Structure 1
């Protein structure tokens, strides 16, 4: 059994902690929770810090509660937001909640016994509560002065967008979540990102004022990239945990492309490796930075835990294919969707089987039936220079003919112009 707070501390995850929290957790198994907002039907890498926090909480012998906000998702949290976001209808929220529950089950051990994790949905206790009941039983305990003193509220009031009553009330709703879980499940601590501190302590204050109880708070660092760009964002958008939204290969590449400065903190935050294991990896990395030992360790660890060992193997083989010298054998084991994911962003051309069979030679294929080359002259020049490959086999002659027997998965031709320029020809 490890010391939960000390584990967060050496991993440099800890941001704020309420006095006496560490001593209280040292007494033995305690229950605590983190909330996840169901604004989408998948979590993304930005949620991984909180997932890791719950993992460490459970590993330290405590009982984690994961709250999926089916009710709060209908309101919207103003923390860290510059404008009010669009609200989702109940059907969309229910779908998102179900998807997030499934994802969380991959990281935590869920059980009714011992310190098994528990999933809860705040819609279960809010759905039968009327507005009048809420303002009478909850609103009367927290003053407007107290609520307006919160940084998240101040920033929005100072901005041009203002703050709706809906979002202003969010901290009361989240505060009541804490009160409910404290009363019904003995959850004594709420955790979250540092931008959640105001909402969390509203909960501890509600517990104190409404029931003369004692509760605790802990927040983790918000992750930022050293180059100033937003963590978890790429040119194509957010990096999701759902393989249908972000393929395991792209997920792997996101972590593999970490800067040396970022990876030294991220490997502490996002993996379960021990302090000594990380220190050993750092020594090896510093001895040969070009081998990207830390980046590979981080990418492999996360891809396997978030997806699967099989998904990691495909990601590694895909990377080796695109950036190394591996053959095409593994492509024959992939589905159409997986192949299209690998070549997303690569120029693609669609031709018919009839076109392929009627094509006179490789030059016509690459310069007439497709636009791999702008002209036959350019195609001939590059082929004669030995700079063109199809399916990893160099094209030796301008009179070579490509037929159905050359297709990968009976459908694809992979053309390389030089070492790094890929093209995908899809034959249907």
Structure 2
């Protein structure tokens, strides 16, 4: 089988030019106490009198559906209008997050003390959140079919944040809705650019009345990301990359419209599936499809949970034939994995795409940036 693999040739996709850089939006400074959405496509923010309206768009149905939330200052009667909106009293004082992304949103805003519940206590990296877990100030509520509705109804947090998936919507939270516990479904992972994904931090900022803070902090992240992307897009040569590892015989790779593919474009790479599109951000490929690319790639990124080259070979001995394995250019995004097994790349990395891109540029274009340690990535040896 290995001899047959070595006889394969790389597909023509490697020679395809990368997609042109996406135009950078011109950002007007929002009014004090307000924020605007510049990059994200999955939500909108509006202001009406003393109230605010967040509209979350679901990308999973054939016809996009929208869920509207009317944010009313605490102690203020519900105003007229928006009869279909879910009402949330703001600023929220207690948040249950069912994803590590929601931990990242709170941590970015310095609002870790608002987090009172998580779907799983294991998957949190933020030091202040881990401290609150150790102090017994955060409870586990389960996820999916294991979600503990009784506990949530009894504790009655101001908001439960969930993650959107195909075929799921607010109807699965009917028990909480009937008890008056608001649920907001976020689908930031469907966004097509890293900055769009990170901009979901503005949703929580609006719920906390922290618009001025998020404008300042997210603005800094966006400007630095754009500066780095300008460097990466002009960099030469453009190394060939392969991403990921198979899981249950399926090798999922980022599709052209995914935020990860945009990372690769902004990092100045040649990516074989840069023009291939699929639903929900990834292509499900076979080993035999990806292997020709990996055989001649310059770098291999995102190697599951492996930490050494030896661990890579325990997955499949054929990996030894891949050019990045032989050259030692294997870089995994698990450098910041804590003792509980939580990988901070999937947490803070979601709201700090500038740090992720800086890592990629240091890996793929040595010398382009001043010398510095990698933040999220590590070389496998």
Please report the TM-score for the alignment, with normalisation by the length of structure 2.
Answer: 0.21
Q: Which has the higher contact order (CA 8 A, sep 6+)?
A: 2
Higher strand proportion (structure 1 or 2) = 2
- Say which one has the larger Rg: 1
Higher helix proportion (structure 1 or 2) = 1
